[in-house]
Amino acid sequence: MVGLGAMGAGIAQLAVEAGYDVVGREVTAELGVQAATRIGHFLTRKVEKGQLAREACDAAVGRLDTTVDLERLSDCDLVIEAIVEELAPKRSLFAELDRICRADAILATNTSALSVTEIAAATTRPERVVGMHFFNPAPLMPLVEVVQAELTSEEVVAVAAAVGTRLGKEVVCCHDTPGFVVNRVLIPLLNDCLRVLDEARVTPEALDVALKNGAGWPMGPCALADLIGIDVHVHSAEALYARSRDPRMAPPARIVAMRDAGLLGRKSGRGFYTYD
């Protein structure tokens, strides 16, 4: 596992629970310790809730090894990347992994909006590169999209899907296209919802009530944007618009202004709503 932020740590937690030995690489030892502590905390919470035996928790924690040395991943069968959502750093990392890892290793990216094909092109083995898009928070969200890039082999897709299933996820396989499946639908849909705020002169509360009660949404679009993070949504929308040039992908000016003002939703304490 390369990158042990919120997403990477969640994927690493799933893997150790599923019985995999995991090497987690972070840029500093302190960040690695923080991630391991966070994973241990969440597994302990599951013990307290009766969802996991203490022995299984201890065994899972013992299967995680953190490091700052990328070379430690040289003998891994599968490497999943969950670093910053920018193309250049990902391509640079995959070029390094291409040099370090075994020729038969599978290299996977957790990107939600970037081209898996472009990331794979940074390697000499694009047939061994695949997308494994987990959703946040990874331990709780039940879906993983397995994304086949232009040159990804069918065997690699099948292995990635089998890993996703072993991690307890519902697996949807698709080809590399802007937004894959969920974000291809969700991002323009959320953008349309947020544009209605100004077009219909409706409050965020009223819009959420309308979609929950009129369309059966479990959560209104404004509350959902706050949960995702306004900055995360804007970043993904901009990336998908750059790839597709579909005007519906472009983030509405209102949420770009919110991002610029630091109104990021739950993570900052204020977005469309205010949080304690």
Catalytic residues: 112, 133, 145, 183
Question: Distance between alpha carbon 228 and the CA centroid of its chain, in Å?
Answer: 11
H or E segment and range at residue 173: strand 170-175
How many of the other CB atoms lie within 10 Å of CB of 58?
13
| Cis amide bond preceding 137, omega within 30 | yes
Q: How distant, in Å, are the alpha carbons of 15, 19, 82, 102, 159 from that of 74?
A: 18, 20, 17, 6, 19
Q: Which residue has the tokens 């997403």?
A: 7
Where would I find the H helices in 136-228?
Answer: 154-166, 182-199, 204-214, 221-228
Q: Are 183 and 111 in contact (CB under 8 A)?
A: no
61 vs 80: CA distance, rounded Å = 19
261: buried, middle or exposed (CB in 10 Å: 19+, 13-18, 0-12)? Answer: exposed
Three-state DSSP state, 75? coil
H or E segment and range at residue 92: helix 87-100
Q: Are 129 and 147 in contact (CB under 8 A)?
A: no
Token pair of 84, please? 């910053």
